[in-house]
Amino acid sequence: MADRIEQIKRHLAKADGDESAISVHRWAASKLIWEEVQSGTSRRALADAIGKSHTHVRYMYNCWDLVGRKLDVSGTSDSLPNFQAIYASDEIRGTEDGDSDSQPGSGKRKRKPDEQMDYTTHGLVVQAANAIDALARNRAHWPLLSEDDLALLRAIPPQVRALLRDSTR
């Protein structure tokens, strides 16, 4: 633990400079934080050990857990997107559509269970618009889009055009 803690501190301290250097060191610190938590250290204890808030540790952990380990295929920093763009994303911070939960700082995601979803025509249109808007606004999703996801997205414009054409009165 102590060796990894020192490595995390070193990377966080070096994360000052040009944007690419910052990103490389923050990704390295994020990976080490993820490894330390996976080895059994609590996020709060780790935060105390490295002199950061437990919220920062949670965000750093989420960066590696949700994005870094999935994209770190080549083993080089070139395979990872800009760290700050990921760190600031709604997905990492645990909010949906940028809304904060009713209890500030709770970190709980604001979601409706399926039985509360609106499956009326208007409700489905609103859900589709919100989903596309959330993908378009949150660049953290973009590198994670699979070929199947891209095929589904490509199918949407013709379907929307057909709906607009055939439903006009």
Q: What is the pLDDT of residue 58?
A: 93
Dihedral in degrees, nearest 10, Cα atoms 168, 124, 106, 88: -50
Tokens (6 digits) for 90? 């709604």
pLDDT at residue number 33:
94
Report which of 34, 25, 27, 24 is spatially closest to residue 4, judged by C-alpha positions. Answer: 34
Quickly state the pLDDT bin for 137 (edges 50, 70, 90).
confident
Across 41-50, average pLDDT:
93
> pLDDT, tens digit, for every residue of 57-85?
999 999 888 887 777 655 555 667 888 88
96-119 mean pLDDT:
48
Domain boundaries, the chain: 2-167
CA angle, 11 then 14 then 17, to 5°: 140
CA angle 112, 115, 117 (to 5 degrees): 55
For the entire predicted model, the pTM comes to: 0.52
| 25/13 Cα distance (integer angstroms) | 9
**Least confident among 5-9, 89-93, 105-109:** 105-109
In this predicted structure, the answer to whether residue 100 has a pLDDT above a threshold of 90 is: no
